[in-house]
Chain A
């Protein structure tokens, strides 16, 4: 009997409060074949981190309830320390990006960014 291994696609948690950006990222990531879990604020993001065991996290820095820095801190202290985290920042948030790297972020993209560029970063961190 041939045993067929069905590989499950990697799960990516996208935490972004900007609806349009979230839709665009979800659309693009799903098209690339990833399973996408979304969160529109920090509280939802923390809940999703506990329940969905993502393989990569993409988080905005400025979000209601808990910001991106708190998300990174939570991931590093309570989840896998090697879970890749990509931070989305806006212009003028350089100090927050530096703080994000200090807390253990792996990569960042400044809005407005090219979706292709972000996808290549995602692929790199997932080792695909």
Chain B
């Protein structure tokens, strides 16, 4: 206290403002040094932690690689992993991740041994924590691990994640349900989710490609869904899995009123190119409009016998829409209608010019 008073008396002779500025400058420098020191300590700790994680991961991978190569029994592997976990509890999430990554590289019989080991070491509790986390990316990770390691006890949590507004999380949850073969959960998805955007459909298709055939989702049920997005996805899956016996059943969907669904069905028909589709296409023809009408006419020209296709196409040779007209005329030319007759059918000079330009 005395020293403060002395200092104050000393400043009596000085300008108080300068003294105040001096104190502020000292505090500023001191604060900056402390802050920088704190940041440095944090970085040091983080670097040490990541070096420790990398070393631990490498050790675990070495053990598991030796086990995969057949030079370590499951019992020996289990002992080694238990030692790591007993030494430091922080090893648990890293071990869980290594086992998850490993299981993707293994055949079914070896996968089940790893799954048993995963449960035996209570690593499923880490998956539970992730699934219950408030961070969506941790939930997504939890879904991936649970799906890969068949942790069916978490099905209800994963089902709940399929209703998330986060597309990526939804994709992970749906993939996990497919991997676990949860047919009832999958059937309910279409009712719970109004939308399944194109990018999610593409992502899901990519994920499904690496699944075994017995894990297929109930996509045939989705064809009857009241949600056009799910119908569209069902059609894409039908095509992806080459379910050509189901493709003729897609006919009624051409009258769904959703242009994306109609386009997808026509695309599937084009890919299949089966003459058995002709009656379905003829039924749809009077209702088809625009681009769908053009594709239907082209398909009929390709699939029908020449003598049967000609009268159908002639009906459209004087259609009001010039593109439809030209498609019909072009198809007639492909089918071998002689040029003089084709010219007689052309409605305008511009049609003739376009037709001869082809």
Contact = CB atoms under 8 A, between A and B. Distances in A.
Interface in B91-124: 98, 101-102, 104-107, 110
Contact of B70 (A20, A21, A115): A115
Interface stretch (B57-65, B183-191, B308-316, B327-335): B57-65
Most buried by A among B64, B69, B71, B102: B69
Contact of A92 (B61, B62, B106, B210): B210
Contacts, number: 44
B164 interface: no
A90 B70 CA distance: 21
Given A27-B69, A115-B68, A19 B210 contact: no
The range of chain A's interface size is 10 to 19
Given A90-B210, A92-B209, A112-B107, A20 B101 contact: yes
A18 B106 CA distance: 13
B129 interface: no
Contacts of B69: 24, 27-28, 31, 115
Contacts of A115: 68-70
A23 B107 contact: no
Binding site of A, secondary structure by majority: helix, strand, loop or mixed? helix
A21 B71 CA distance: 15
A122 to B, nearest CB: 13
B210 A20 contact: no
The range of chain B's interface size is 10 to 19
A90 B207 CA distance: 12
Most buried by B among A18, A21, A24, A113: A24
Contact of A20 (B71, B105, B107, B209): B105
Contacts of A116: 70
A2 B121 CA distance: 59
A18 B62 CA distance: 13
Nearest to A19: B61
B133 to A, nearest CB: 26
A111 B107 CA distance: 8
B73 interface: no
A91 interface: yes
Interface in A54-92: 90-92
Contact of B102 (A20, A113, A114): A20
B64 to A, nearest CB: 7
Nearest to A18: B105
A23 B105 contact: no
B257 to A, nearest CB: 34
A40 B89 CA distance: 31
12 contacts: A20-B102, A20-B105, A23-B65, A24-B105, A27-B65, A91-B210, A92-B209, A111-B105, A112-B106, A112-B110, A114-B107, A115-B69
Closest 7 CB pairs of A and B: A23-B65, A92-B209, A24-B65, A28-B69, A24-B68, A112-B107, A27-B69
